[in-house]
Amino acid sequence: MTRKLEGGKLLVATHNKGKLKEITEILAPYGVSVAGAGEMNLPEPEETEDTFVGNARIKAHAAAKATGLPALSDDSGITIDALNGAPGVYTADWAETPNGRDFQRAMARANDELNAVGAEAPRTAQFRCTLVIAWPDGHDEVFEGVMPGQLIWPIRGEHGFGYDPMFQPDGYDITCAEMNPAEKNKISHRGKAVAQFVQGCFGG
Ligand SMILES: O=c1[nH]c(=O)c2ncn([C@@H]3O[C@H](COP(=O)(O)OP(=O)(O)OP(=O)(O)O)[C@@H](O)[C@H]3O)c2[nH]1
Ligand SMILES: [Mg+2]
């Protein structure tokens, strides 16, 4: 049975400003305001699992334990069919450099690895989002969303974050970075997962 949440404020256990902005915007119509782990100075736990749900559990339970409040985490990434699902849980790692994350470089790597598979390699990929809400007593619940699409090159668009300029959702001829944010939230992996979370934890 899904445990319900009360009150209008939710702790979101992420240090990613792009995710936080999207979750804030998706939850606004439900009267839920959001506080991020970064602004609450919570440490960033190490993501040691090899599944989205495993890492989402680590982040949500760490924040719930540290604050005594229910905490929502988001573990997400891109799975590329021709690369057997890579980068998957390592999506952020592909962007890491000694000077911070560089997504131009991460997108170029995805394109290079696809080209190395061959000209005929399918360009299909999925954005995946796993949300975990954890309570301080150790209870948790999981919600998931997937957005299928194609990886295009050269990249296009200025909105969004991460790999958005490379990702063209199925049924669209523009990338996620060319959409306005509300349009992306309507169809995205994160939009779908948050809708399920709202239904489960705030619904009747
Ligand atoms: O173009 C994108 N549009 C999206 O909608 C999206 N959602 C996730 N991602 C990427 O997937 C990785 C998640 O890694 P991740 O779950 O560990 O998050 P993170 O480390 O950035 O923050 P945190 O929540 O762990 O604090 C990061 O590289 C994100 O850029 C996206 N990229
Ligand atoms: Mg992370």
Q: Is 189 annotated as a binding residue?
A: yes
Ligand 1 pocket test: pick from 129, 146, 163 the residue with the most ligand atoms within 8 Å of its Cβ: 163
Percent of the chain scored above 70 by pLDDT?
A: 99
Give the residue, by CA position, lying nearest to ligand 1 atom 24.
14
Cα 130 to middle of ligand 2, angstroms:
12
Is position 73 within any domain?
A: yes
Q: Which two tokens stand for residue 109?
A: 């790597």
pTM over 0.95: yes
Q: What is the CATH number of the domain that holds 180?
A: 3.90.950.10
21 annotated to a ligand binding site: no
Written as one letter, the residue type at 143 is: F
Beta bridge partners of 33: 9
Q: What pLDDT digit, counting tens, does each position of 75-129 carry?
A: 999 999 999 999 999 999 999 999 999 999 999 999 999 999 999 999 999 999 9
In a domain, 1, yes or no: no
Domain count, the chain: 1
Residue 82 lies in a domain: yes
Q: pLDDT, tens digit, for every residue of 16-51?
A: 999 999 999 999 999 999 999 988 899 999 999 999
C-alpha distances out from residue 69 to 5, 11, 136, 138, Å: 11, 7, 6, 11
3 within domain boundaries:
no
Which among 75, 81, 102, 137 is annotated as catalytic? 75
In a domain, 2, yes or no: no
Q: Say whether 190 counts as a known binding-site residue.
A: yes
Cβ(198) to ligand 1 under 6 A? Answer: no
| Cα distances (Å, whole numbers) of residue 92 to 99, 122, 124 | 14, 22, 19
Whether 77 maps to a domain, the answer reads: yes
What is the CA(177)–ligand 2 centre distance, in A? Answer: 21
Pair 139, 76: CB distance under 8 Å: no
CA distance 138 to 96: 32
Residue 185 inside a domain? The answer is yes
pLDDT score of 1: 62
Query: What is the best residue among 11, 14, 17, 19 to mutate for testing ligand 1's pocket, by most ligand atoms within 8 Å of CB?
Result: 19
Q: Cα–Cα distance between 139 and 111 in angstroms, integer?
A: 40
Q: 75 catalytic, yes or no?
A: yes
Domain that holds residue 183: 9-201
Mean pLDDT, rounded, of the chain: 96
Ligand 1 proximity of 74 Cβ (cutoff 6 Å): yes
Q: What is the pLDDT of residues 171-190, one digit of tens each?
A: 999 999 999 999 999 999 99
Q: Determine if ligand 1 sits within 6 Å of the CB of residue 184.
A: no
